[in-house]
């Protein structure tokens, strides 16, 4: 499984994006069981925590233990969200494989989400890259940068495509090695996805561009297909569609992991993920989380007659 | 509203496809209130009932009253499903605008659904067209033919594209004036949609081709987008994703009406339907139906900030 080729990488972000929306503290052993089970199902990249101050988000006070458990899984890319330099320093200490730095295209959302103007976010990204390089970790720890609210904002409404493109150029200039375009509040549609991703790709050259989509208004899977058609091969998703943004009113869950994997597998594209095993992980996580609402259709309907797992 | 141009027609089939899955008898006045409210929201085509023997599906024993209420709405295309000649004769008597005749590409599903081989279905379609013409109703009553299970079957699994194409040719040769390609059990994916619809369109010439998609495994909206990209401009959907097929194990609801309309409207395509009003109809229908499960994301999230209804 480790070295089998895949056509598209679907990464789990529920342990970060999902759990940040759950007020109750999810036990560390539940998180670890979840990430181990998804790894066993074939998932090879997971955003496992957020390195924000524990007093702001006590949900992630066990970041160290979760990262250590993830690092023990051979071939897993362990990712942590970092809102600023301090978070990035901690991520480097804890030895993650990839840092997800976030900046919003929406100035209002950036102020609400990371409490500073975009210019300060960019300056921090420059410092983070420098810090990583100074530690001799260039080529070992990847710096990914998220463009939040790139497809709409619950404060500002529509976001200009030119503004997204400028922000992408700024992130690349600051040293980002991967760009994640995020529909933080699920405002997008397939046409807009095409327009925005194609614009961003004019600035990213050979760097990978990923899609972080929310299914707030039911268009998540259609938007993912549109992003795939633009050449995107890295997709965020969360088991059962957990997730949202505490600083974006009306945001709801991420694209449903199992439905998104089904989209790709049903089109003959290899995700490396065993859908039967993934549905079983979902059942286990749903049971462990108790009354947290989960979404998605595949878990309700099951796989079609004659569906064969990709070897 | 009546004469405003639209880019895509979304028709409500919940009164037929949705209600056939509800064992309890929905009161006639609830059905009539539902169709009047959707008409007021801008919906201009509805499949309002199924002309099957009342002893098989007592849900539709009030077909006459429902059709009469629908016919009273100026500019509404009133459609009834007809499984055979007898149903078609009744549809012609009751004065519907369009007959939805159904035949399955899957031979097994055709036997289960309408209790006869495909050849007999085709022969019946020829008789139906003749009957309609003999009654002087050519050009007044349209004969639409559905290709059920065209994108997969819970009995037969995958369906060959060539077989779908042959069936489409047979329906056209028998006199169908519109072809509805149906993913009865929600097995499809966007790639398969493109393949099948393009194959069908090789046989249909200038005739309209519609898409009847189910959201069983979460790909309904993405499949609709793929069909749109092939040139399809007529889409079935049901409020809250009601629906299924009593003779297809594992089938679940249709594409969600309000989410599908949101897909199109958010891409700047006019459906003629007021989304705010449609969400209110959904609220009313949900209240009237009681504990029948309804699906969909838009009703949960609401419209995005800055969304403007199309005039």
Whose CA is closest to B18, among B232, B241, B168?
B241
**Is-catalytic flag, B245?**
yes
Q: What is the mean pLDDT of residues A127-152?
A: 97
d(CA A162, CA B244): 44
Specify the DSSP class assigned to residue B146.
E
- Work out the burial of residue A155: count CB atoms within 10 Å of its CB; fewer than 13 is exposed, 13-18 middle, 19 or more buried: middle
Would you give the distance in Å from CA B175 to the centre of its chain? 19
Phi/psi at B203 (5° precision)? -105, -20
**Catalytic center residues of A:** 245
List the single residue in B with minimal CA-CA distance to A214. B297
Q: Which of B63-77, B94-108, B115-129, B293-307 has the lowest mean pLDDT?
A: B293-307
Q: How far apart are the first and last CA of chain A?
A: 8
**pLDDT of A310 strictly over 50:** no
Instruction: Give the closest of A155, A217, A305 to B297, CB-based.
Output: A217
Q: For tokens 């349209």, name the residue.
A: B142
- Provide, as residue numbers in chain A, all residues whose Cβ is less than 8 Å from the Cβ of B254: none
pLDDT band at A251 (very low <50, low <70, confident <90, very high): low
User: B157-202, pLDDT tens digit by residue?
Assistant: 899 999 999 999 999 999 999 999 999 988 999 999 999 999 999 9
- Provide, as residue numbers in chain B, all residues whose Cβ is less than 8 Å from the Cβ of A226: 225
Specify the DSSP class assigned to residue B237.
E
Question: Looking at the complex, does the CB of residue A239 fall below 8 Å from at least one CB of chain B?
Answer: no
Whose CA is closest to B102, among B81, B120, B78?
B81
> Min CA distance, B152 vs chain A (Å)?
9
User: A186-240, pLDDT tens digit by residue?
Assistant: 899 999 999 999 999 999 999 999 999 999 999 999 999 999 999 999 999 999 9
For B227, residues 6+ apart whose C-beta sits below 8 A from its C-beta are B181, B193, B197, B211, B213, B235
Q: What is the token pair recorded at A236?
A: 């965020």
Put simply, the answer to whether A263 touches B190 (Cβ < 8 Å) is yes
> Min CA distance, A202 vs chain B (Å)?
22
For an interface test with B, the pick among A7, A192, A217, A255 (most B C-beta atoms closer than 10 Å) comes out as A217
d(CA A220, CA A260): 9
pLDDT band at B287 (very low <50, low <70, confident <90, very high): very high
For B62, residues 6+ apart whose C-beta sits below 8 A from its C-beta are B28, B31, B49
Show the beta-strand stretches assigned E in chain B: 9-12, 45-50, 77-82, 98-104, 142-148, 178-183, 209-213, 234-237
Q: Which residues pair with A46 in a beta bridge?
A: A12, A78
Q: Topology of A9-301 in CATH? A: TIM Barrel (3.20.20)
Mean pLDDT of chain A: 93
User: A89-106, pLDDT tens digit by residue?
Assistant: 999 999 999 999 999 999
Whose CA is closest to A281, among A42, A17, A18, A25?
A42
Whose CA is closest to B272, among B263, B285, B261, B280?
B261
Instruction: Give the closest of A191, A259, A296 to B267, CB-based.
Output: A191
d(CA A217, CA A187): 7
Instruction: Give the closest of B157, B267, B301 to A189, CB-based.
Output: B267
Mean pLDDT of chain B: 93
Question: Looking at the complex, does the CB of residue B215 fall below 8 Å from at least one CB of chain A?
Answer: yes
Q: How far apart are the first and last CA of chain B?
A: 8
User: A15-42, pLDDT tens digit by residue?
Assistant: 999 898 887 889 999 999 999 999 999 9
Q: What is the token pair recorded at B172?
A: 């056209």
State how beta strands B98-104 and A45-50 pair.
unpaired
Neighbour tally for A146: CB within 10 Å: 23
Put simply, the answer to whether A190 touches B225 (Cβ < 8 Å) is yes
ipTM of the complex: 0.90
Phi/psi at A148 (5° precision)? -70, 160
Question: Looking at the complex, does the CB of residue A267 fall below 8 Å from at least one CB of chain B?
Answer: yes
List the single residue in B with minimal CA-CA distance to A215. B297
Q: What is the token pair recorded at A11?
A: 């990464």
Give the helix ranges, DSSP H, for B54-115: 63-71, 85-94, 107-114
User: A290-302, pLDDT tens digit by residue?
Assistant: 988 899 999 988 9
**pLDDT of B4 strictly over 70:** no
For an interface test with A, the pick among B304, B306, B307, B308 (most A C-beta atoms closer than 10 Å) comes out as B304
Q: What is the mean pLDDT of residues A41-65?
A: 95
- The pLDDT of residue A1 is 45
Instruction: Give the closest of B216, B262, B305 to A217, CB-based.
Output: B262
Put simply, the answer to whether A304 touches B191 (Cβ < 8 Å) is no
**pLDDT of B3 strictly over 70:** no
- Provide, as residue numbers in chain B, all residues whose Cβ is less than 8 Å from the Cβ of A300: 252
Question: Looking at the complex, does the CB of residue B219 fall below 8 Å from at least one CB of chain A?
Answer: yes
Q: What is the mean pLDDT of residues B199-216?
A: 97
Model pTM score: 0.93
Q: For tokens 């056509």, name the residue.
A: A7
- The pLDDT of residue A233 is 98
Put simply, the answer to whether A191 touches B268 (Cβ < 8 Å) is yes
Neighbour tally for A39: CB within 10 Å: 21
Put simply, the answer to whether A259 touches B298 (Cβ < 8 Å) is no
Residue A231, CA distances (Å) to A44, A193, A210, A235, B151 in order: 20, 12, 9, 11, 26
Q: Chains A, B: CB contacts under 8 A, how many?
A: 123
For B195, residues 6+ apart whose C-beta sits below 8 A from its C-beta are B161
For A49, residues 6+ apart whose C-beta sits below 8 A from its C-beta are A15, A16, A60, A62, A63, A66, A67, A80, A81
Q: Which H or E run contains A201?
A: helix A190-204
Angle at B55 between CA B53 and CA B57, to 5 degrees: 70
Q: Which H or E run contains B278?
A: helix B275-289
Question: Looking at the complex, does the CB of residue B259 fall below 8 Å from at least one CB of chain A?
Answer: yes
d(CA A4, CA A44): 11
Does domain B9-295 match CATH 3.40.50.2020?
A: no
d(CA B235, CA A280): 34
- Provide, as residue numbers in chain B, all residues whose Cβ is less than 8 Å from the Cβ of A154: 304-305
Q: What is the token pair recorded at B236?
A: 């079935």
Q: Is B281 helix (H, G, I), strand (E, B) or coil?
A: helix
Residue B159, CA distances (Å) to A275, A295, B167 in order: 22, 29, 12
Q: For tokens 């462990």, name the residue.
A: A288
- The pLDDT of residue A4 is 66
Question: Looking at the complex, does the CB of residue A301 fall below 8 Å from at least one CB of chain B?
Answer: yes
List the single residue in B with minimal CA-CA distance to A225. B222
Q: What is the mean pLDDT of residues B256-263?
A: 97
Q: Which residue has the higher pLDDT, A3 or B226?
A: B226
Q: What is the token pair recorded at A160?
A: 């200009």
């Amino acid at each position: 499984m480790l070295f089998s080729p895949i056509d598209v990488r679907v990464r789990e972000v529920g342990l970060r994006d999902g759990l940040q929306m759950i007020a109750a503290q999810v036990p560390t052993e539940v998180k670890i069981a979840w990430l181990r089970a998804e790894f066993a199902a074939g998932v090879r990249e997971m955003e496992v925590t957020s390195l924000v101050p524990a007093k702001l988000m006590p949900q992630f006070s066990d970041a160290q233990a979760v990262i250590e458990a993830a690092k023990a899984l051979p071939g897993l890319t362990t990712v942590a969200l970092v809102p600023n330099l301090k978070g990035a320093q901690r991520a480097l200490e804890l030895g993650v494989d990839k840092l997800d730095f976030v900046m919003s295209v929406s100035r209002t959302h950036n102020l609400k989400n990371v409490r500073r103007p975009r210019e300060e976010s960019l300056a921090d990204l420059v410092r983070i890259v420098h810090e990583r390089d100074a530690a001799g970790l260039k080529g070992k720890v990847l710096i990914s940068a998220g463009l939040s609210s790139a497809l709409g904002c619950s404060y500002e409404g529509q976001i200009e495509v030119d503004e997204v493109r400028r922000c992408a150029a700024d992130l690349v200039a600051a040293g980002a090695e991967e760009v994640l375009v995020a529909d933080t509040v699920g405002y997008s549609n397939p046409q807009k996805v095409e327009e925005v991703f194609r614009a961003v790709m004019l600035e990213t050259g050979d760097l990978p561009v990923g899609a972080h989509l929310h299914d707030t208004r039911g268009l998540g899977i259609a938007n993912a297909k549109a992003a795939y058609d633009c050449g995107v091969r890295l997709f965020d998703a969360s088991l059962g569609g957990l997730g949202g943004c505490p600083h974006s009113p009306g945001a709801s869950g991420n694209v449903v992991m199992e439905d998104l994997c089904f989209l790709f597998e049903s089109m003959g594209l290899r995700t490396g993920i065993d859908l039967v095993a993934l549905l079983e992980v979902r059942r286990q996580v749903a049971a462990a989380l108790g009354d947290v609402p989960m979404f998605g259709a595949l878990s309700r309907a099951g796989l079609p007659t004659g569906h064969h797992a990709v070897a």
